[in-house]
A and B are shown apart, each in its own frame.
Chain A
């Protein structure tokens, strides 16, 4: 995929720049409960302000479904953003119409304006042309910094980009560059690790990665389905029977590239406080479920990681939300962090799982895209990214 042009490439001084951020942060009692996403937006906002732009910021918050919902107002986020920027942030009660136009007209160079939640209008998610035109009227240049929202063809992501010169923000660029570096132009060997419960929810990811990688390591419950497809006994482990044929097909195409677990930490129930036993994958006894990769698998995976120059990791390799079954995911994270390989982690709830284990800082890049990252890992061009200008 081609790289995208940055707002740094164009003069913005004195111009109204409409910026799409992902400020979808958790709120508690109308206060911001986690500032991570706001901090991630700061480089672009500061960069535009420093360059003398009039900075008009828009975002969604939650899913108000096309109706104004006071509980999902961006106003408290504006207050928090103002503290982080150490600058005033004006607020417009609506993201389009007179309130927005008047507030935008008052804005001077380097000042900030935050618009109310774009999803208070049904036109955003519907990518309604009139709504997109109303948003576009607010700015002369559009900057998309909301990678995590860019797999959805919404008006604030795609519609506006079709109406204004459209550039990538700093966060967007760092996500795209990391994904590009890991998948499109990797130092080899390139190793991918895919975990999670179901093959069917990641079939596109598996197929696409298979074409790109030198090694594909499978963990999590989906490994059981691969093992079962090879004819092994997997006890009472989660098996996706409807994906056995897909597992065989992936395994057949992968050949030597595919690496499956050798052993597993098992319990009789997927719950804390159970009796634990380690079984080789060919001899899991009936009644026992594979819930994490075992010690021999951890060694195998660590050795594979040690030989890789680039590692892409999606999905925990065990039931990492239960401490007894998080050991495999932790040891894999340690192996990656200590390997010196360029490491990219993300997609779905991977970032959240690794964050919960306190490991986020250990990787070259943790992609925050969730569904957007998964779609990139499938080789799909994200609509919001496709709409941006290519780098010269």
Chain B
């Protein structure tokens, strides 16, 4: 029976600037949130250069580690890249296709699909991001756009890899804007993703968790995780404050208090 535990993933983006600050943030989250990480899956995604230091801090805890990006080739003449195979030694998770990768670094759906495939092949759990731009939203094409992105991502996906996959829906117009999608909009768009998964994988599609991302904070996180088809959130800026992040964790744990979610303890 697939009863998914909720997932909160912290995307630190290009922060913090020093190793000390990164370590402090990781320790802050661990100190405040570790207890609840037996009820809510927690993933911290620092920049590449802090992965090792944060990995040491998270060692022996329930809190897991992820990277924010990866490259699909395993090794070779690709200056500046880090491969999924390399990350697999340090992390359990990787984010692919974040909207900032798509908009600032020219990643296409096809590139994201290759990264996803490489990461799955390296046995990483993957948070693959999809989301519509402001013009799609304004013209009512949100569901179509994310369904199409989901199709491309799923590509040649093998059934046994589904349990490694999490799809994060980010309305791109909401990221870092202070605007967030109405829960009703998030629901209908995430439902389109869920239906795509079902059409493709039938019952096995329920193994894939869906996250919402976009200006999520402690004050509104419960409204999203209470939505059917939303299994957690991908947190950006608000995850840089250990106190705020742990408040979100507590809010999600309360929503799931009746879910018999402590089995993994």
Chain B interface: which of A24-32, A86-94, A197-205? A197-205
Q: Cβ of A242: which chain B residues have Cβ within 8 Å of it?
A: 2, 4, 194, 205-206, 229, 231
Q: Which of B193-241 contact A (CB under 8 A)?
A: 194-195, 198, 203, 205-206, 226-229, 231
CA distance A145 to B224 in the complex (A): 32
Establish whether residues A221 and B228, one from each chain, have CB atoms under 8 Å apart when the complex forms.
yes
SS class of chain A's interface: helix, strand, loop or mixed?
helix
Q: How far, in Å, is B211 (CB) from chain A's closest CB?
A: 13
- Number of chain B interface residues as a range: 35 or more
Q: Is the CB of B228 within 8 A of A225?
A: yes
- Shortest Cβ distance from A122 into B: residue: B31
User: For the complex, is A241 an interface residue (Cβ under 8 Å from B)?
Assistant: yes
In the complex the two chains form, what is the Cα distance from A378 to B256 in whole Å? 12
Q: Which residue of A lies closest to B193 (CB)?
A: A241
Q: Verify A201–B187 contact, CB threshold 8 A.
A: no
The reply to whether B228 and A198 form a contact with Cβ atoms under 8 Å apart is yes
Known: A198-B228, A240-B228, A246-B1. A375 touches B198 (CB 8 A): no
Counting chain B CB atoms within 10 Å of each CB, the highest count among A204, A245, A374, A378 belongs to A204
Q: Is the CB of B1 within 8 A of A241?
A: no
Stretch at the interface among B79-87, B90-98, B158-166, B247-255: B247-255
B191 lies within 8 A of chain A by Cβ: yes
Q: How far is the CA of A271 from the CA of B228 in the complex (A)?
A: 18
Q: What's the A-B contact tally at a CB cutoff of 8 Å?
A: 105
**A63-B246, A65-B243 in contact; A198/B257 too (CB < 8 A)?**
no
Chain B residue numbers with a CB within 8 Å of A380 are 260
Which residue on chain B has the smallest CB distance to residue A225? B228
With contact pairs A63-B246, A66-B31, A241-B229 given, residues A201 and B258 touching in the complex (Cβ less than 8 Å):
yes
| Complex: A221 Cα to B229 Cα, angstroms | 12
Question: Which residues between 29 and 44 of chain B lie within 8 Å of chain A, taking CB atoms?
Answer: 31-32, 35
Q: Which residues of A contact B246 (CB under 8 A)?
A: 63, 65
Contact A241 B203, CB 8 Å, known A65-B32, A249-B1, A375-B258:
no
Determine the chain A residues whose CB is within 8 A of the CB of B104 once the complex forms.
none
Interface status of B59 (Cβ within 8 A of chain A): no
Whether A126 lies near B206 (C-beta < 8 A) is no
The CA of A264 and the CA of B215, in the complex, are separated in Å by 33
How far is A245 from B202 in the complex, measured between Cα atoms in Å?
11
In the bound complex, do residue A238 and residue B187 qualify as a contact, i.e. CB atoms below 8 Å apart?
Answer: yes
In the complex, A151 Cα to B2 Cα: how many Å? Answer: 24
Query: Across the interface, which residues of B come within 8 angstroms of A195, CB to CB?
Result: none
Query: Once the chains are docked, how many angstroms separate the CA of A374 from the CA of B260?
Result: 10
In the complex, the answer to whether B32 meets A201 with C-beta atoms within 8 Å is: no
Q: Is B110 an interface residue (CB 8 A)?
A: no
- 0/1 per residue, A42-53, Cβ < 8 Å to B? 000000000000
B228 touches A243 (CB 8 A): yes
Residues of chain A lying within 8 A (CB to CB) of residue B198:
241
Say if the beta carbon of A239 comes within 8 Å of chain B.
yes
A387 and B250 alpha carbons, distance in the complex (Å): 23
B184 interface residue per 8 A CB criterion = yes
A-side contacts of B260, CB under 8 Å: 203-204, 207, 378, 380
Q: Is the CB of B229 within 8 A of A201?
A: no
Most chain B Cβ neighbours within 10 Å, of A197, A201, A370, A380: A201
Q: Mark A195-226, 1 if CB is under 8 A from B, else 0.
A: 00110111111010000000000000110010
**B259 CB within 8 Å of chain A:** yes
The answer to whether A200 and B3 have CB atoms under 8 Å apart is yes
* Closest residue of B by beta carbon distance from A375: B257
* A32-B3 Cα distance, complex, nearest whole Å: 40
Extra contacts besides A63-B250, A370-B254, A377-B258 (16): CB < 8 Å: A63-B247, A125-B32, A126-B31, A201-B259, A203-B3, A205-B258, A222-B228, A225-B228, A239-B229, A241-B198, A245-B1, A245-B203, A249-B1, A314-B258, A348-B257, A380-B260
Enumerate chain B interface residues (CB-CB to A < 8 A): 1-4, 31-32, 35, 184, 187-188, 191, 194-195, 198, 203, 205-206, 226-229, 231, 242-243, 246-247, 250, 253-261
**A-B complex: 10 closest residue pairs judged by Cβ atoms:** A204-B260, A240-B228, A371-B257, A374-B258, A242-B206, A205-B258, A374-B257, A202-B258, A241-B194, A371-B254
In the assembled complex, 17 residue pairs joining A and B whose CB atoms fall closer than 8 Å, in A order, are: A63-B250, A126-B31, A200-B3, A201-B256, A201-B258, A205-B258, A207-B260, A239-B228, A240-B229, A241-B194, A241-B198, A242-B229, A245-B2, A245-B206, A270-B184, A348-B257, A371-B257
